[in-house]
Structure 1
Amino acid sequence: MNYIIKHGRNFIAISNKIEADRHKHWLIQMFLSGQKEINIEVKGQQVTCCAILVNINTPHTFKTEGKPHFTMLIDPTTKLGRAMKILLMKHPFYIFPHEKNVAMQQKFQSILIQRCHNDIQSFIQTIISQFPYSNLDNFDDRVNKILNLLDRYVYKGEFQQVNYFSKKANLSESRLGHLFKEETGIPLKSYIVLRKLQKAYELIFNGENITTAALSAGFDSPSHLAYTNKMMTGMSATSIIKDSEFLKVF
């Protein structure tokens, strides 16, 4: 069982096949066990729980050991990601309280039995509803402009350069870099790479092969995509895609 789901700029997996080596990335990651508890290493610490959020840029490793799990990779610039960051603050992880675990696990166990696409969508909405984001502060207008440009991503060489965005924002490269990191918590260069990886997977979800997806997303080669993916997910792109069913939830 391996469902891969795209929800806006966030990616979700329902799988019993995750074998992720030690890695870190600029995404928040959520793990939820379908049975009993999760054993996960976060920043060198062994943690046992039913559900956990792992903060951005935090080393962790995780294996499903053949048991079904839910995991979500959340872009921290999205409203959902920003709501999650409130729980994390500057801590490497956040363990969900028991009462939330029970509700999420019960819903998760039901979709594992039914395996209905509508039920999966409903479950994802149940997860998202745990993180209200109605009172979030807005990003600086110049940061929003960069994020909006990246939402309209069409690969061309200049689009990967900080200089391109600094001109659009009417700021020097150093000032834009400082502002973007201050507002989002992520270096702009790293975020551009992250969006390239997101774009590559979106193309793969739409039926492109890895080579075409890599080049269309702006990677120098399929091996460049493979290296970036391994560094950021702890897994090979091939192992993620193999025997997977792709769904899209808006």
Structure 2
Amino acid sequence: MIDNENIEKKFSNELILLHSKDHIAFFTDKVDTHYHSHNYIQITIGLEKGFNITVEKDSLYTEGIIVNSNISHRLYGYNEWQLYLLINPESHFGEAIKRNFLQEKQVYVLGEKEIRDIIQLDIQSMPRMINSLEYSKFIKRLKEVLNISNYNLQHKIDDRIQKILTYIGAYPLDKLSVKELSNMIFLSESRLSHLFKEEIGISLTSYILHEKLEKAFYLIFNGLNITDSAIEAGFSSSSHFTRTVRDKLGMAPREIIKNSRYLKV
């Protein structure tokens, strides 16, 4: 079992944010949101106890739930630790979740066995021991429990898309545009967008936005203020960044940053 006293002393009222290519995850004991919706599919697991979630006015107490993208909801965590996975619905990961759990419904309440199998992955100890390697192992095993471990079968990426990925990784995000990228590989914007989604499993605009969010939080967690971080990451203003974060994460940037740690995985 989790060492409650140790957790309270070391991590009380904290948020640990992990940024991956197809999802964002955070461990926290400070979630108490108002109604909001975001573009991500959300998986929430109680590390110790359940939580209360209201989805479009229907309220329930549970220990594990999957909520489809763009569904209005609010959550009260009782100051207990939960794991949140915010998965891009256009990624292979997101498509696998939709196929397995959300084909005929907008919400899937995880069963006792599913929650027990996830908890047995030693999820309770993650806030104390979290690092990139341990998280990668955990997320791989979680996908196996959810029966989606083969969602990202390896294939050789089209050379043109590989060139785009390399360019995005090296070029200033504040100056990046789909038009410029399409000109670079001599494709129309619509053809590039189609090919990128086909190869990567996520739209090009979503990929770029995800990169901007990642860069902004990286800069913030390395000491730059919110406004300068937002501008350098390619947002038009700090308010644009704040609106985007609320839309994608359901929380304001300042709420996420306070008493938080950041890890790229």
Question: Shift of the alpha carbon at 1:247?
Answer: 4.3
Determine the C-alpha separation between the residues in 2 that align with 1:151 and 1:75: 19
Equivalent pairs counted in the alignment come to: 244
Residue number in structure 2 paired with 1:23:
36
Q: 1:173 corresponds to which residue?
A: 189
Matches within 5 A, 1:87-236: 87-88=100-101, 90=103, 91-105=105-119, 107-111=122-126, 115-117=128-130, 122=134, 125-132=137-144, 133-134=149-150, 136=152, 141=158, 146-147=164-165, 149-152=167-170, 154-157=172-175, 159=176, 161-178=177-194, 188-236=204-252
TM superposition score normalised by structure 2: 0.73
Amino acid corresponding to residue 263 of structure 2 in structure 1: K
- Residues 86, 163 of structure 1: CA spacing in aligned structure 2 closer, same or farther, 3 A cutoff? same
More displaced 10-residue stretch of structure 1: 73-82 or 17-26: 73-82
RMSD: 3.4
Q: Normalising by the residue count of structure 1, what TM-score does the alignment of the two structures yield?
A: 0.76
Would the alpha carbon gap of residues 63 and 151 (structure 1) be closer, same or farther in structure 2, given more than 3 Å must change?
farther
The amino acid across from 2:222 in the alignment is: N
Whole-Å Cα distance in 2 between the matches of residues 62 and 139 of structure 1? 41
Give the CA deviation at 1:242. 0.9
* Percent identical residues: 33
Contact 1:88–1:94 (Cα < 8 Å) also in 2: yes
Secondary structure of the corresponding residue to residue 34 of structure 2:
strand
Q: Which amino acid in structure 2 is aligned with residue 170 of structure 1?
A: F
Letter of the structure 2 residue corresponding to residue 204 of structure 1: I
Aligned residue in 1 for 2:18: 6
* Residues 28 and 75, structure 1, Cα contact 8 Å, conserved in 2: yes
Candidates 52, 55, 65, aligned match of 2:68 = 55
Instruction: Answer yes or no: is the 8 Å Cα contact 2:55–2:74 preserved in 1.
Output: yes
Q: Which runs of 4+ in 1 moved over 6 A?
A: 182-185
Residues 30, 169 of structure 1: alpha-carbon distance in 2 compared, 3 angstrom cutoff: farther
Cα pair 1:52 1:96 within 8 Å, conserved = yes
Kept in 1: contact 2:30–2:79 (CA 8 A): yes
Determine the structure 2 residue equivalent to 1:66: 79
Distance 1:152 1:61, change over 3 A: farther
- Structure 2, unmatched stretches of 5+, are 1-11
The 5 A counterparts of 1:234-249 are 234-244=250-260, 246-248=261-263
